[in-house]
């Protein structure tokens, strides 16, 4: 995101532009270090200033940007992968609701 102010203070700044950004391999390696023993989905909030990564928040949930800014097709593919993983990674103790969901979608049980 690019804003009309150096400092983001909502609602006192306005968005100028936004674009998809391919995360550099080096930044992904840094994120991986945070997640070394973690299993699940997470959301990093960060900025890149002068080419340097500045992480300021890590949430163990899907980020709100997915609902607002992500291209619909990309978001759909993410949720399909999550659904498939949820069904595949489950075992004999799968809750009945989850089992019914997997069965209704045709995903592996």
Check pLDDT > 50 for residue 108: no
- Please say whether the beta carbons of 57 and 45 come within 8 A: yes
Chain center to CA of 30: 16
pLDDT digits (tens, 9 = 90+) for 12-41: 888 898 887 788 899 999 999 999 988 878
Angle at the Cα of 105 from the Cα atoms of 102 and 107, rounded to 5 degrees: 55
Dihedral pair phi/psi, residue 44, rounded to 5°: -95, 130
Question: Which residues lie below 8 Å from residue 84, measured CB to CB, with a gap of 6+?
Answer: 107, 108
| Those residues with Cβ within 8 angstroms of residue 62's Cβ, 6 or more apart along the chain or in another chain | 41, 43
pLDDT value, residue 82: 78
């Amino acid at each position: 995101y690019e804003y009309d102010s150096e400092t983001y203070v909502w609602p006192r700044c306005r968005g100028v532009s936004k674009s998809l950004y391919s995360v550099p391999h080096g930044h992904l390696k840094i994120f991986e270090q945070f997640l070394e023993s973690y299993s699940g989905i997470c959301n990093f909030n960060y900025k890149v200033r002068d080419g340097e990564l500045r992480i300021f928040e890590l949430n163990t949930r899907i980020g709100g940007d997915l609902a607002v800014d992500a291209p619909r097709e990309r978001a759909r593919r993410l949720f399909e992968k999550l659904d498939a993983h949820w069904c595949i990674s489950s075992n004999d103790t799968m809750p009945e609701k989850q089992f019914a969901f997997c069965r209704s979608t045709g995903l592996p049980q």
